[in-house]
Amino acid sequence: MIQILDERTLRFIEFLNTKYPASETVKLSVLNGYDALTSDETEDSGFAVYVPPMKTIMLPTEVPENIVALGDEDLTRNFVIHNLAHEYGHFLQDVGLLEGFDDETIIEKVADEFADKAIAEFEAEEKRCGS
């Protein structure tokens, strides 16, 4: 059997597609075995990234050891899906469904707020459905 992502992450993607659909499509590049990215061009690094020209989210699926070492079970459990939601927020900004894509002062704040909201809604749905 081939598995690209764990079941919870797949349910979260379905949740995002249902609750926050867009008329355009964003591709997801899954980087199993990685916990962060670094751009050769800009030398930027992060836990995930949205690449606007390609409309692609690049998503590492491993939780970094320094995050696990904090001992916060909720942070560790939600780390990958939070990063996915944050980058999906940038996609929604790019296609005009969230504000701030061209405003460096709020771009990250808006994406973080979107991710926090989406995670809270998803967890509430998980509790309702018993997942």
> Residue 130: pLDDT band by 50, 70, 90 thresholds?
confident
Mean predicted confidence (pLDDT) in 58-74 = 90
Residue 67 confidence (pLDDT): 85
Residue 41 confidence (pLDDT): 58
pTM passes above 0.85? yes
Distance CA 46, CA 2 (A): 27
**Which residues 6+ apart lie within 8 Å of 98 measured at CB?**
89, 92, 110, 111, 114
Q: What are the domain boundaries of the chain?
A: 7-129
Residue 2 confidence (pLDDT): 86
